[in-house]
Amino acid sequence: MADLAGKVALITGGSRGVGLATARRLAREGAAVALVARDPVRLADAERDVTAAGGRALALVADVTDADALASAVERVEFQLGGLDVVIANAGMGRYGPVADLAPATWREVIETNLTGAFLTVRAALPAIRRRGGGHVVAISSGAGKRGYPNMTAYCASKFGLQGFMDALAAELAAEPIKCTTIVPGSILTDFGVRTREDRARSGDTFLDPDDVAEAIVQVLVQPAHAWTQEVTLWPR
């Protein structure tokens, strides 16, 4: 997939942050992008953002925990954009606190969004990717999928699980022309969890920009067919 012109990508969590930055970057490479998110207002803004820059975008309101909604989204992508080559499982949420105070419903919400949501997204997309003769599955993990942090048990568990899911998926698809890549970024300057982008900027800590992650995604997508990057770890400095 050395040339992204004419390719079609579906991005969950596509209305802001890393998802929107990636949509813009892929559009500059000539790819059509389907943006999946829950908030129709933000999603419409994101679609206008991409199309105003000369890209081709399709906004799809769907929750990644809803298998039927994702299946319908993929059907629309195939019908309106002509197929599907790349799926980027980016949607995620952060809910934090000590285990003793963490409500079971909060635990389930994080796991269902960050881990089950990725599974359902990939499951819905794979038949369409196979119909195109192959493609690429990308998942956005986190440094919290490699190391445990206090008050982040649900988030860490979801991202550790995502790492395992993607490793197993890569082995499962090894005989097919479908590559699987996990992007493992450190802290990113976005609105996430209880901290806004402005809060993070004022903290004095170092952060990645969403465009940094988007660039890493493009680099793995444009590698020649015989090359495969299974995992990219990206830290701010």
Amino acid 112: pLDDT: 98
How many domains does the chain fold into? 1
Alpha helices (H) along 53-192: 67-81, 104-111, 117-131, 153-172
pLDDT at residue number 188: 85
Query: What is the model's pLDDT at position 237?
Result: 86
d(CA 230, CA 139): 11
Nearest CA among 57, 61, 31 for reference residue 46: 57
Residue 3 lies in a domain: no
> Could you tell me if residue 1 is inside a domain?
no
Residue 2 included in any domain: no
Closest CA to 71 of 53, 51, 87: 87
Q: pLDDT for 5-43, tens place per residue?
A: 999 999 999 999 999 999 999 999 999 999 999 999 999
The torsion defined by the Cα of 47, 215, 90 and 208, in degrees rounded to 10, comes to -110
Give catalytic residue positions: 155
Percent composition of the chain: helix, strand, coil (DSSP 3-state, to 5)? 45, 20, 35
H-helix or E-strand spanning residue 185: strand 178-185
Q: Is 171 exposed, middle or buried (0-12, 13-18, 19+ CB in 10 A)?
A: exposed
The predicted pLDDT at position 1 comes to 60
Note the pLDDT of residue 206.
81
> What pLDDT is recorded for position 195?
57
Please check whether residue 152 is in contact with residue 193, taking contact to mean a CB–CB distance below 8 angstroms: no
> Residue 36 domain-assigned?
yes
- Residue 199: partners with Cβ closer than 8 Å, 6 or more residues away: none
pLDDT given for residue 102 in this prediction: 96
Contact 95, 46 (CB under 8 A): no
Query: Over the Cα atoms of the chain, what is R_g?
Result: 17
Instruction: Output the six-digit token pair for 3.
Output: 């040339």
Q: What is the CATH number of the domain that holds 101?
A: 3.40.50.720
User: Quick check: is 190 in a domain?
Assistant: yes
Domain interval for residue 89: 8-234
Q: Name residue 134's amino acid.
A: G
Q: Which residue ranges of the chain lie beneath pLDDT 70? A: 1-2, 190-204
pLDDT by residue (tens digit) across 186-210?
988 765 655 555 565 556 678 899 9
